[in-house]
Structure 1
Amino acid sequence: MGDETDFWEMRRLNNNEYRDRKALRAKINRLSNDITKRLKKIRIEIANSLADSIATTDEGRKMFEAVRQLSRNQNTDSVSVFNADNQMVDNDRDKADIIRNYFEEHYTGPESEPPIEPFTGIPRPLHDPISAVEVELAAKKLRNGKDGIPNEFLKHSPKIFFSTFAQLINQSFELHEH
């Protein structure tokens, strides 16, 4: 019913014989603004829901899917970023550095938990050493073209590579060496 009423009001507005154009124009503008506000509120609710999903999940796949949904259909408008001197930064690389540093400090700052030490205890042999088959299976699951590493090379490596890599990983854990 509301859509039909709006249609007739638009027709009356465009009719030159109708004298109260100002009141109609004000009503149409008010409706348009209400619609815009409601759409913005809905988008914010969806984004908050996805952000909560990202924050509460421990599963990487679900987290990345939520991030993908958040970034889908977004305009790539420029982000305003200010440096320590409260000056707007115009270089995208500098913006990325400032944002990255902010989140690194946020998640590794003094109020967060201290970082885990890489190795604890006395170096000793592993109870269940990592096998060449496990390394090969992990390599086969890698996605192509991610992280700047040509994963296709790892996926199609000879058996000796997986065996050598498994030995290196085991040695790193057993001797506490990076």
Structure 2
Amino acid sequence: GTKMSFHISLFSLSGLSINYSISALLIKNNNVSILAGSLSYISFLIIVYPLIPLMLKTPSLKFSTKLILLMTSVIEWFACFGIVLLSNAILNLNIDLFVLYQSYFFSAALGVASLIPGSAGSFDLSLTETLKHAGVLPNTSASLLILYRLFYYVIPTILAVVWFILLKTNILQSKANK
């Protein structure tokens, strides 16, 4: 129970760390890259490096399980980035893919490091600022963030509530028919 929760949490952070490290490797000569790049090496030592020994020293997990957890985490974080790409496309903002990738994972890592639940505020401010350094207006960043939050939090919550209600009514009807 608790041990497995720890492993899942650990590997969930590893997906963010890997994507963040990739974004640091994609450094181009622009303001966002300089900002992210200057912090990347320090944050790599703080965020990624401690995870490696922890992941390797989990004897209760088979290597295949570790690999599955790691890949699932990478895919999960990339899917979250996909929501940013979708929001960018819907709003027709045409923000450069590499700028979005670097800004998103830098902001996500900063949000997780801030320990604020849901990274509310720290993620938003960081994303707005990194995009501003890339020449994106704060109003445009705010629009992107609103749509991202809508797709990431509001719509899934509404779907979960509707699904829960449908399941509960179905269970109640099944019990009433017996």
Higher relative contact order (CA 8 A, sep 6+): 2
Q: In terms of Rg, which structure is larger?
A: 1
Q: Which has the higher helix share?
A: 2
TM range (shorter): under 0.3
The two structures have a TM-score, normalised by structure 2, of: 0.21
Report the TM-score, using the length of structure 1 for normalisation: 0.21
